[in-house]
Homo-oligomer: A and B are copies of this chain.
Amino acid sequence: MFSNSLKYAIKAVLYLAQHSCEKQKISAKHISESILVPHAYLAKLLQELARHNIISSSKGPKGGFYLNQENRQQPLINLIRAIDGQQKLSTCVLSLKDCDEKRPCPLHNLVAPSKKNLMDSLEHKTLAEISSEIEKGISFFPL
C-alpha cells in the first residue's frame, strides 16, 4: 500500500515530531539508529523531505533535522506526496485515463468510496495531531 521509502519517511517524521524542536535538532544518524532504518538510505529521504519543506534542517555542528511549528501543522498527505509523487493515490485503479463518476471503470464504484475516505483522512490529519495521539496513549509508536 505504502512504499518502503514512505514508511521509513513517516517513521522518521514521527520520531522528529516527538523528539525534536527548533532548539533540539537531530542528526540523520541518530534517527536512523532509533527507528532501525539504514542510515544512508534514510539520509536521502530526509534530504528529500527537507527539500519539500516537510521537515526543517540545518547544517554544521549542533545541526540536524527538526520540525518547526509550520511543519507540524501540515497534513500527512503532504509528506506522502513529497516521497511518492503527486499522482500515485489519485489515479484510476485500472490506470484508465479519466476516472470519472460519469463513466466509472468496473472497479470505480467498488473502491472510490474507500479511497475518498482515505484521502480525506490523509488530507486533514496533521503531523501535530498524530504526534499528540501518541503522547496521549491513543496510538502507539514502538521503536
Contacts and interface: CB of A to CB of B under 8 A. Distances in A.
B107 A130 contact: yes
Give the copy number.
2
A109 interface: yes
Nearest to A96: B142
Contacts of A95: 7
Contacts of A115: 1, 114, 118
Given A110-B121, A117-B117, A139 B104 contact: yes
Contacts of A76: 107, 110
A104 B140 contact: yes
Contacts of A40: none
Given A93-B7, A114-B118, A121-B111, A106 B1 contact: no
A67 B122 CA distance: 39
Interface in A1-35: 1-2, 7, 10-11, 14
A117 B49 CA distance: 31
Contacts of A88: 1
Interface of A: 1-2, 7, 10-11, 14, 76, 88-89, 93-96, 103-111, 113-115, 117-118, 121-122, 125, 130-131, 133-134, 138-142
